[in-house]
A = this chain, B = another copy of it.
Amino acid sequence: MSRIDGRTPEELRPITIERGWSKHAEGSVLISFGDTKVFCTASFTEGVPRWRKGSGEGWVTAEYSMLPRSTNTRGDREAVRGKIGGRTHEISRLIGRSLRAVIDYKALGENTVVLDCDVLQADGGTRTAAITGAYVALADAITWAQGKKLIKHGRKPLIGTVSAVSVGIVDGTPLLDLCYEEDVRAETDMNVVCTGDGRFVEVQGTAEAEPFDRKELNALLDLATSGCVDLSAIQQAALARTLGE
């Protein structure tokens, strides 16, 4: 009893991570979770926002956006409407929190990294792809800064790894890494952000139709944890390649 695209319930879509996709950014990644493609850049700058000056600590923040025609029907540009929608705000904040969970601000020093995650093509799971890709871009930006001596010798601002995946219950079956068509039909939808050692950074579950019980919640958490282990390995493999290959 296979899924729309032939996967088993506990199978990720094909994941690809291309590093060095921008010649300008200190870290940059084009990540795909199946047909979902997100372009993640990490911009490293010296200095911190005003409220953090003199603290000796750095800052990491994120902005998420969808290109107008990344979806099946064209959406209005938020810049044209003059305001950012609630969903965009919510996801930008989630990405920022997730990445900050693996940062040692003291080790980063008074430097800022801005992660821009722009969805080029959406097919479900854009926020989880964004977090997973942004981690790799962030790692590259920190390596760059270490090479430039912008981070003190011996300091390691990155204290863990982080990846994310969506899970959901569709027609009563818990599924890993939902594509758009599955997402629309899911009774329960959950996004889970894990560290490489299997602990949780964020757990966000929503009943789209019927409320879910503890047993269903447990099944979803099992699936997500296992998916994040795989994503973590894919991230490490990507980072192990020489940039430019």
Contact = CB atoms under 8 A, between A and B. Distances in A.
Interface of A: 22-25, 28, 35, 39, 41, 43, 45, 63, 65, 67-72, 74, 77-80, 82-90, 92-93, 97, 101, 114, 116, 118, 120-123, 160, 190, 194-195, 197-207, 210-214, 217, 221, 225
Contact of A217 (B23, B35, B197, B221): B221
11 contacts: A23-B121, A25-B69, A28-B69, A67-B116, A77-B116, A79-B84, A195-B211, A199-B213, A200-B205, A201-B211, A217-B221
Contacts of A118: 67, 118
Contacts of A23: 35, 121, 123
Contacts of A82: 82-83
Contacts of A35: 23
> Which of A63, A160, A194: most chain B Cβ within 10 A?
A63
A83 B210 CA distance: 34
A148 to B, nearest CB: 15
> Which of A39, A200, A214: most chain B Cβ within 10 A?
A200
A116 B206 contact: no
A206 B202 contact: yes
A57 B89 CA distance: 28
Contacts of A198: 213
Nearest to A72: B24
Contacts of A22: 69-70, 120-121
Given A63-B77, A200-B212, A69 B116 contact: yes
Contacts of A88: 79
Contacts of A69: 22, 24-25, 28, 41, 43, 114, 116
B207 A205 contact: no
Contacts of A116: 67-69, 74, 77
A88 to B, nearest CB: 8
A203 B192 CA distance: 11
Contacts of A85: 89
A226 to B, nearest CB: 12
B221 A214 contact: yes
Nearest to A160: B211
Nearest to A84: B79
A39 B67 contact: yes
